[in-house]
Structure formats: structure tokens, C-alpha cells
Structure 1
Amino acid sequence: MKTKIAVFGRAETIERVHTFIEEYENIEILPFTYSHSKVVTEMIENAFMCDVYLFTEPLSYSYAHQKIKRKKLPAVVVANNEYMILSSLYKLRQKHSQELNRISLDILNEKHIEEVRKELDFNEKQIYSYSYGKDESPDIEKIASFHKKLWDDGKIDYVLSSSKEVESHMKNYGIPVSAMIIPDVNLKEAIQQANSLTVLNQSKGAQLVTGYIRIKDTEAVHAEKQEIYEENIYKLKQILINFGKQSDALLSHNRNDHFVIVGTKKLLDHLQNHYRNFPLLSEIQSTLSMPIDMGYGLGLHAKESEENALLALDKSSKDSRSLCYIVNERQDTIGPIGIKRDIDTSNLFHALIHKARLNNELSYNFIDFITDRNNEPFSSNDIATFYKVTKRSAERTVNKLLTGDVIRVSGEERPYLKGRPRKLFTLNQ
């Protein structure tokens, strides 16, 4: 069955989306065309058969935001970012064959304007900006009034707007104006996100896994060793493409040179089975000439797993070596994985025999289990899977280990939306 994506946008933008969709055999789009972004709120009611909602303009999403939130609809917004501003400024310069030093812009998020200011060194120019993302509700008239006042005061010569409706207002006022054009890469990334979101939503109830991978110190490396850096980015992408196929995970590459891996059970199983020896990290270390940061986040929904992945990535960045951490849904940090930890197996065996009263076979099996997991926290369910025994049998072993003071409760995990959380245990050493 094909994924149905409701696309809200202007006719020319939806036509572009149609061309990019052709490479996806599993996607079908249902276009919802408008001239005024405000009508999107009503259009949503007619898209109830769709799997995900794709908004091509931030203003239209702003109008629909409350309804999207209330109905808990899966939604993606095409990025209106610094890349769109930069490419629009470049096209404006080509059109006028000169720099425009007195202009005003409007955009959803002011941070993108700040990034452009740093990139182009706006200090010698008169650039005014309006961020409508901070407004309580979208207001076309308010944005248009901002530009008009600057024009009336003689402070600007041109307006660059992220909204076609604002562009129309400026033309009515006789003010020189252009609307920013959404770059192809922004549209493609949004389509990919919408497709990924649908795949993830088909795994309702299970933990989601988001992974971030990047080359360390990218700004310094990018400036000093451009050619080597680009070669390493290419090699890293090939490795991650193969890893994604092995773990049924989706891979994307964002503009900040972060690779993003998103998956569910198979990816989680792979991570948990390789706490001590992580083949992906080993392959990256042996192939690339630069160290990397890698972090995975677990969560019951995409936003939670993404936030935890960023925490894990930040933890990895504190060290100059290539490291990988996992942050679970309770924000417990696991790792670094793939690096063997020293475990005193002799003392552990003694405790298992004399304190927990396990027989030799169970003791050896438990040592194998702890060693294989690199002494990371575990649940009784993990023991049942490793030993290939019933959950009840695993719980009996756990109770003996607790009674013998060999292990202690270290936390809990919630791998499913429904049901009680599982207790996690760790060695009491």
C-alpha cells in the first residue's frame, strides 16, 4: 500500500513536489492548493485519509498548528532556513546586477537571519528583518505593515519576503519586492522526512531509535582540509548506507553534515547486541582518517528519541576519540559502546556461587551475559532472551542475584507505550 502524503501549497510549489515524488514508488501525494494560506485550517478536514501532512510554507503551518497539535496529526514543514535566504539573496543580486544594501526580510525563525548576518557580514548594510514565528498567531497585515513603514520612512529600497501574500501586498503598495524561492534540496528533505515519519508511525507502540553521526570539529576541519574532509564524508555515507540496509533503518544527511539514522526494533537489537564490540564504529575508525561523534537516542516518539540522540552526541563530543553513546527514554547514558570494559570475572564467579547460590552452568552463562553486554544495565527480559528461557525463569535468576547482593536496581525502561515499565539492574561492584 502506498504512503499518502497531503501536500499543502501553491500550485507552482506542488508541481515541483510532483517531480521529486517520481523517485519514490511507495508515495502518492494528494495536493491541496491554495492562494491564501489561511484556508489551510479548513483543508485539513478533507485530508483525513492521508498518512502525513506536508506544509510547503511556514505561514500555512502556523495557521493550522493548533488543529494539528489538537488532533495529533503527523506533520512536516518545508524548511525556510538560512540556505533559502542565501540562495534568494544570490538570485536577487543576479537579477539586479548589483548588491542591494537596504532591504527588509521576513522569515519564520530569526535564528536563520542571524546565521546569514554572520555569513555575509551585514555590518555595512542596512538589513531589517521580521520574525513572525514569535507572533501569537500569523498576521499577513502585520508583516506587510512592517515592510511598508520601513519603505515610507525611506530606510529600504527592496523587500524580500518568504510569503507570496506579503509579496502581493507590497506590489499593491508599489514597493519593489520578491518572494523567496524554496530550494529544491529543502523540498526533497521534507519529502524524505514525511516518508520516514510514515514508516515510523507504522511501528506504533515500539521504541524508536534516532542516531546522529558527524565528523568531529567540522568547522576547523572544513576550513583546513577541505578535500580530505569531503572524501571522508563520502566514505562515511557509504558505510552508513550499508548499515541502514542491515538494520532496516532510514538514513538522511542534513545541511550541518550530520548523518541521521532512524529505526525501530532491528536497529535497537543491533545496538544492544554490540555493547562490547560495535562493528559499525570499528569500520568507521578503520576507513576514515578523521574521528567521529556518534550518539543514539531511544524514545516512544520521534521527538523524544531525537532529543536523546542529541544528548548522546554531545556526550561523544567531549572526547577527542571516536566514541558512541546511547541515551534511553529516561535519559540514562549508556556507553561508550564498542569499548571493552574490564570486568573482574573471578570475583563475580565467586559471588554468583557463594552469594547468589547459582550453579556452575548458570554462573558461567551469567558471566557471558554481562561480558557480552559490556556491563551495561539489563532487564529480566534481556536475560530471558540471552538464555533462551521463559521470563518467569529469568525472574527467578534475577531474584537470586538481588538476594545475594550481586546486582542492584539501577532504573527502569519503558519499551512500549502500554504496559508497566521494566526494572533495570546492574552489577553491585
Structure 2
Amino acid sequence: MEIKVAIIGPYDFLGEILRIAATFSDVTWIPLGYKNVQDAKRLVLQCKEEADVFLFAGPIPYQIAREHVVEPKPMVYLPYNGTSLYRVFFQIMREGGMLHEDYRLRFSIDVLNKQEVEQRLEELSIRVDQMYALEYQLEQSTDDILRFHHDLWTSGKVDAILTCVASVYEELTRLGIPCYRIIPTKSTIQECLHQTQLEWKNLQLSDNQIAVGIINVESMLKKWGSSEYELQRKKIAIQEILIDYGEEMQALMNWPDRNEVIFVTTRGVIERTTNMYTRFPLLEKIVNRLNIAVSIGIGLGRTANEAQSKAGDALAKAKARGGSCFIAMHDGSVFGPLGKDYHLAYSLRSNNPERLDAARKSGLSIGTINKLISFCQNYGSSQVTASDLANRFDVSLRSARRILSKLEQSQLAMVVGEEQPLTKGRPRQIFDLRLHL
């Protein structure tokens, strides 16, 4: 089956990618160029129906698209890794002739992680007098990056500039400033093109992952009272809804006891019927028709046992909220509560060093750190009160204050203001969370 891959990057770099891409079979490449990297968002929206996979020519357009576009499609980007740096440093040595025995390099660099750059310099035995590194943050504009380099050059602090941003390179070159552009090597491009194919194949396989759902009705039975006739009527009404749901989703339904219903389907069906884990029509139907709350946990896994275990975890979270739906993935990600404007998507795991460091400093779990970041992204602000957290995390006000206190003590949050509640009471402290969102 032929796949369609949209390649999004600066105009002058697309040709290099397409020359290597021409050797791949069963792929239709859709080149989409830009002059301004901020156009990445518009280009993704432009071809979101046509493309199966998105390939970005670098981490910046990828981050921009990832932040603003929610699409159930794979997104891959060309990394600026060690081999890219080797080429640029060799170019400086060959063209600049600056690295003679007594010379120590003074330069500025953007986007890349400072530690990675230092490792490559050490491997090449390049002596450095001063390095200024601007690691990319989503709120940065290309003008900010340009200003960073230009100010260092005009103040005489650097002899060369290394940039990953095409527009910054073009402008600095126009001004006659020694500038070297970092671009992925041919081998990196080829590896990434292979990855786009694998991402598509993985998506096809994951579509067939097993999904197990558990619908808990224990709280409903208690609420209905002791009349056996009333209980039976309600159970028959739920069974009718579940039979319709099972037929619609081609799911296997089983009611092993009077308190729980189990259904089995596939991940692809769940993604389509929940609008990518944002709402659950079955829950809405039961609530609207019977005016009762239910707790639903859905687990996705590579095996039936794994999916059922994850469904149990998700059900526990749903029960804790007194009636809702959560989805737990095999990789530790959690979505929920579904059907709410403020549903959270977060992972119970992470290999992000900044998030792991935040968890270690604060004494909070990595799941809580991920949940806080997801909350801020949904909330649209890093400034929150204990009341905000208590309401959205469904925890006591005391627990929310404890979380904020730990963050404040570890300098990951600070009080920036107060909010007067509508009703009588003490002003609420407003905290600014210093987490990498």
C-alpha cells in the first residue's frame, strides 16, 4: 500500500531531501516549502487530509506543528545530531583557517543542546575560548534567534555563528557576518525517511491493538434502591444500550456479574469512536437516557492480559472521580476524563531529563509532573491556584496545596499574586509553575 508523506521545510533544503527520497518505493512525497518557519502550522493544516505522515526538516517546524495541530497522524523530524556538527566544524577548519595550534574558537550556536555540542567539540579536540548556546524554546521567534547572534557579533564576543535556522543564516550572510548553517547529513536524511515508513507501519499495527473496556455499575445499583423490579428495569435498559454499542463497534460484550460489563474491541475503533480520546459516546448515552453516572476504564495493549490490566488502572481513576471515563495506554499514557472540556493527556513514564529532574527535586512522581504540564497546556497558562488544581485533579484542597508547596520549596513554582474568591474567604495565592512546558 502506497503512503503519502508531506515533507515540510525551507525551500532551499527540500531539494536535497527529495533527491534522497526518490530512491524509496511505495511512497508519494508531498513537498511543502516555507520561507518563515512559522508557516509550518499552516502547511500541516493545508495537507492534513491528504498526507498519512508528516516529515519536518528540523525540530523547530515539528514543535510548532505539534503545539498547534492535534492530528492522529505520525510526525517525524530530521534531527540535528553529531554528524551535522562534525560537518560544520570541519567546514570552519577548512574555510576559516582559524583552528591553528594556538587558536581557541569563539562562537554562538542555536537550537542544539549545549551538552551535545560540548561532547562533539571534545571528540574533535577543538579548543574553545567561549561558546554561547541558545537552546530552542517554543516561545522563541526567528527574530529572537537572529537578535541573539547579531548582538554577540556586534559586541565582539564571537568570531563565528552556527545556526540551524535557514532564515537566520540568510540574513546574517547578507549582513556579511561569518555564519555556518547546520543541516542534517545525507545519512541522517536517509535514516529519517526510513523512520517515516516505519511510523506508518507501526500505526497500521497499533490500529489492531486490543482494547478492553470495563464498565462499572456498582455505584448505580446502590443508588437505585432495594426494589428488585426497579433494578431489573435499569439493567435491561443498560443491556439494550450496550447491545447497540457492541453492534456499532463490532465489540464483544460480556456481563460476568451484576456489577461490571466487559467489552473487547481494537484500538482503531476506540480512536475513531472517541475522536482521538476526547469523548466517549457510550458514557454520554447512558447519562442522557438513564440520568445516572457510570465509571468506565479502557485499556490498550499488545496482548489481552496487558489491555485488561490497563483497563483496571483506568477504571480506578474513573471511580475516583465518581463517574467518568479514562483510557490507559500500553506505554503508560493516560487520557481523561473523557467528555470534559479540560480532559488531560499525560504519561506515567518519561525519559525527558528536565521532567525527571523536576520530579527528583520536588519529590513528586513523574506522573504528577507530566499531569501538571498537561494541565497547564490545557489551561493555557502556567499560573494556577490550589483551588484550580484541586478541581482539575479531583483531589482535596489540602493535597493541591501540598503539591504546590513542594514545587515552591524546590524553586519550581513561586507565588506571583493573589486572587480574591467570589464568596467570602481568604485571598488565594497564585503560583507560577516553572516547569518546561
> TM-score, length-normalised on structure 2?
0.45
> TM-score, length-normalised on structure 1?
0.46
